[in-house]
Chains A and B, each alone.
Chain A
């Protein structure tokens, strides 16, 4: 199977590639529009800042490629946030594959931002991406912005307020946490993604 990991300039793309490698899949880290359009699966990873990442996506001519991609697409962390319409982070316009706006986590001494650490997943609705993931399983989050709860939400997590931890709409999937860094839980989510029908 060919998996393309989108190179958005900055990101822990290697971590994602290593995680797929541990699952026996091989991945190509690329920003080549044709390689991405032709891939059987695409992962849009993520660390970095939204506005910077979107400018890289536009500079590489990837906005339309990602919007038109019809096989399974998985956004991870910032990659999930980029799937929404807009982000407060640098007033970025996202890929608008999922409805809604990404907002900043309010920071306080009681709930420091970024939300950095292991938090529990609460299932909102059944989806193939969550198969075999126990209710309340811990996943590793590192983020300062949150995606809204909506029809696409398949799992939520709570930090101050609930937010979307996993999403699905059509062929578009996303995880706010880092599956590549979430131990056995994350490995299961990635394996589920790889097992989705094309």
Chain B
């Protein structure tokens, strides 16, 4: 394993970073470019930008602000938001993205994962999965950026991540929706089950509250990266605190 990654996530709605709880009740947290630079300076290993309403509104991520952010970043940048064609993905790369994360469009047309991997390489293709426990099964959800559009899919999360991997995904970001914004800790049981089925990197998302939660995700669920948003935006936890805790637990992180 390389050093485990601490990933700062910017959920963007209407050009502003927002944060909700369980994907609802979004509150303004600031300007995407300013926050991206702040997290870069604080030691973030990667920045992820989600244009969270793009898919639901049937539009693509805003290329102009993507470029404005990418221009200043010297750490990896992954983008997501309504990217549903290879051409759109390439346009994102041409505006400074390093990785493309696809979620709802991959569920609409799973072949999209394969098409994108063939052109851009698997290392460029991240599949985001929004998962919630329904009747005892972790189930994949779609169009989660807006409460009016959120839709349960017929897919079991554990089946979908294996299919996504087989189709050419280079990484899975598992958003455990029941933990989103709760600061109760990552859903270790769910992540560990997902990890056991994958031979591509898995990133934990949803529920980070304390540095100890990151340690648990790395030690107990063996994830490659852990993503956080709300606790970083509010200043409740600093990236440096997380990295110190992870290093003290004997897990390699980039200083």
- Residues in chain A near residue B200, CB distance under 8 A: 107, 112-114
Which residues B150-194 have CB closer than 8 A to chain A?
170-171
B196 within 8 A of A: yes
A111 touching B74 in the complex, CB below 8 Å, given contacts A47-B124, A117-B45: no
B74 and A14: CB pair below 8 A?
no
**Bound Cα distance from A68 to B123, whole angstroms:** 30
B118 and A118: CB pair below 8 A?
no
- Residues in chain A near residue B75, CB distance under 8 A: 140, 181-183
A178 and B121: CB pair below 8 A?
no
Checking B5, B96, B202 against A15 with a beta-carbon cut-off of 8 angstroms, the contacting residue is: B96
Checking A13, A48, A52, A140 against B76 with a beta-carbon cut-off of 8 angstroms, the contacting residue is: A140
A117 and B201: CB pair below 8 A?
yes
B71 within 8 A of A: yes
- Residues in chain B near residue A110, CB distance under 8 A: 1
Checking A14, A78, A140, A181 against B94 with a beta-carbon cut-off of 8 angstroms, the contacting residue is: A14
B244 within 8 A of A: no
Interface of A is mostly: mixed
A53: nearest chain-B partner, CB-CB: B121
Which residues A88-111 have CB closer than 8 A to chain B?
107-111
B120 within 8 A of A: yes
B101 CB to nearest chain A CB (Å):
13
> Number of contacting residues on A, CB 8 A?
43
A76 CB to nearest chain B CB (Å):
12
A114 and B98: CB pair below 8 A?
no
A84 CB to nearest chain B CB (Å):
16
B123 and A143: CB pair below 8 A?
yes
A21 CB to nearest chain B CB (Å):
7
Checking B2, B70, B74, B94 against A119 with a beta-carbon cut-off of 8 angstroms, the contacting residue is: B2
A79 within 8 A of B: no
B76: nearest chain-A partner, CB-CB: A181
Which residues B111-157 have CB closer than 8 A to chain A?
117-124
A111 and B122: CB pair below 8 A?
no
**Bound Cα distance from A113 to B53, whole angstroms:** 31
Q: Chain A CB within 10 Å — which of B2, B4, B5, B117 has the most?
A: B2
List 28 interface pairs A-B (beta carbons < 8 Å), by A numbering. Answer: A13-B93, A14-B96, A15-B97, A15-B98, A18-B71, A18-B72, A47-B93, A49-B119, A52-B118, A107-B199, A109-B196, A112-B1, A112-B198, A112-B224, A114-B200, A115-B2, A117-B1, A117-B3, A117-B4, A117-B224, A117-B225, A118-B2, A140-B75, A141-B2, A142-B98, A142-B124, A142-B170, A183-B74
